[in-house]
Amino acid sequence: MTSVEIEIRNESGLHARPAAVLVRAAAGFRSQIGLENATAGNGRAVDAKSLVGVLAAGVEKGHRVRIWAEGDDEAEAVDALRRLLTDGLGDERGAGPGEDAPRSRVLGMPAAPGIAIGPIWRPDVDGTAEVGAAPSMSDSAARIRWAAAAAAAQLHSLAERLCELDRIGESEILEAQSLMAVDPALVDEAVRLAAGGLDSVAAVVASAETSARTLAALDDDLLAARAADVRDVGARVARILAGTAIAMPVAPSIAVAPDLAPSLVAEVPPGLLIGVVLAGGSPTAHVAILARSLGIPVVVAAAGLLGAAEGAGSDAGSATGSIYGPAAGSVIAIDGETGEVLIDPGADDLARLAGLGAARAARDRRAAALRGRPAATRDGQRVPLLANIRSPDDAPRAIAVGAEGVGLFRTEFLFLRRQSAPTEAEQMAAYRRAMEAFGPDRPVVIRLADIGGDKEIPYLGLPHEPNPFLGVRAIRLAHGSRELLLTQLRAIWRAAGLAGVTPHVMAAMVSTIADARLLLELRDEARATVVAAGDPCPDRMFTGLMIEVPSAAILAPELARLADFFSIGTNDLTQYVLAADRGNPSLARLQDALHPAVLRTIASVVAGADGAGIPVAACGELAGDPAGALVLVGLGVDELSAEAASLDGIRAALAGVTSDELQRLAIRALAATDAETVRAMAAELTGRG
As a whole number of angstroms, the distance between CA 445 and CA 340 comes to: 37
As a whole number of angstroms, the distance between CA 82 and CA 7 comes to: 10
- Residue 365 Cα distances to 200, 369, 524, 595, 648, angstroms: 53, 6, 47, 31, 9
- The phi and psi torsions of 361 (rounded to 5 degrees) equal -60, -40
Q: Distance of alpha carbon 232 from its chain centroid, rounded?
A: 17
Are the C-beta atoms of 339 and 106 separated by less than 8 Å?
Answer: no
3-state secondary structure 216-251: HCCCCHHHHHHHHHHHHHHHHHHHHHHCEEECCECC
Q: Quick one: which of 129, 226, 221 has its CA closest to 186?
A: 226
Please, where are the H alpha helices in 407-482? 424-438, 477-480
Are the C-beta atoms of 439 and 463 separated by less than 8 Å?
Answer: no
Q: Distance of alpha carbon 247 from its chain centroid, rounded?
A: 24
- Estimate the crossing angle of helix 184-195 against helix 221-242, to 10 degrees: 50
Q: How many Cα neighbours within 13 Å face the side chain of 450? A: 22
Active site annotation includes 537: no
As a whole number of angstroms, the distance between CA 451 and CA 411 comes to: 9
Helix (H, G, I), strand (E, B) or coil at 95: coil
Are the C-beta atoms of 550 and 576 separated by less than 8 Å?
Answer: yes
Q: Quick one: which of 415, 430, 387, 429 has its CA closest to 485?
A: 415
Taking every pair of C-alpha atoms in the chain, what is the biggest distance, in angstroms?
87
Dihedral over Cα of 58, 61, 62, 65: its sign: positive
Q: Quick one: which of 409, 404, 372 has its CA closest to 394?
A: 409
Catalytic choice (15, 286, 504, 595): 286
- The phi and psi torsions of 617 (rounded to 5 degrees) equal -115, 165
675 Cβ neighbours under 8 A, 6+ residues apart:
589, 592, 593, 594, 595, 596
Q: Distance of alpha carbon 318 from its chain centroid, rounded?
A: 25
Dihedral over Cα of 277, 280, 284, 288: its sign: negative
Helix (H, G, I), strand (E, B) or coil at 278: strand
- Residue 42 Cα distances to 34, 37, 38, 39, 45, angstroms: 14, 8, 8, 8, 9
Active site annotation includes 619: yes
Are the C-beta atoms of 300 and 283 separated by less than 8 Å?
Answer: yes
**Burial track 455-466 (b if 16+ CB lie within 10 A, e otherwise):** bbbeeeebeeee
* Sheet containing 104-107: order of strands: 104-107, 340-343, 331-335, 115-121, 253-257, 273-278, 298-300, 109-112
As a whole number of angstroms, the distance between CA 125 and CA 240 comes to: 11
Enumerate the β-bridge partners of residue 565. Answer: 544
Q: To the nearest 10°, report the CA torsion of 624, 627, 633, 634.
A: -170
Annotated catalytic residues are 286, 619
